[in-house]
Amino acid sequence: MASRLEATIYGKVQGVAFRTFAAFEARRLGLVGTVQNSSGGSVIVIAEGERTPLQSLLSRLSSGPSQSQVEHVDVRWSEVKGKGSFASFDIE
């Protein structure tokens, strides 16, 4: 069964190509979902897929691209019911 990862990444994560980085990594791992900036300065990633690739994505998000400085990541896991919510991985 597929899983869902919801991660909010805090630190210097806006204006450093973090969303592009997250989308590239998610697509490379065959995941679907979305990444977006929040009004509070964090980045929110929602990704669905198999647990192992999701864990790999989380590891990459915890490091971020070279220009970023990730201070903290809030993580929430859940199971995907049915076909899930996404058909691709998009930047919003």
Residue 64 covered by a domain: yes
Structural domain span for residue 26? 3-78
Residue 12 lies in a domain: yes
| List 4, 27, 28, 37, catalytic entry | 37
Query: What is the rounded distance in angstroms from the CA atom of residue 60 to the CA atom of residue 79?
Result: 21
Which listed residue (4, 19, 28, 51) is catalytic? Answer: 19
Residue 58 counted as domain residue: yes
Of 45, 40, 48, 4, which is closest to residue 21 (Cα–Cα)? 45
On the question of pLDDT at 85 being above 90, the answer is no
CATH code for the domain of 71? 3.30.70.100
Strand ranges inside the chain, DSSP E: 3-12, 32-37, 43-49, 69-79, 89-91
pLDDT given at position 1: 73
Q: What is the mean pLDDT of the chain?
A: 96
**Residue 60 a catalytic site member:** no
Name the pTM for this structure: 0.95
Cα 88 from chain centre: 13
Query: Quick check: is 76 catalytic?
Result: no
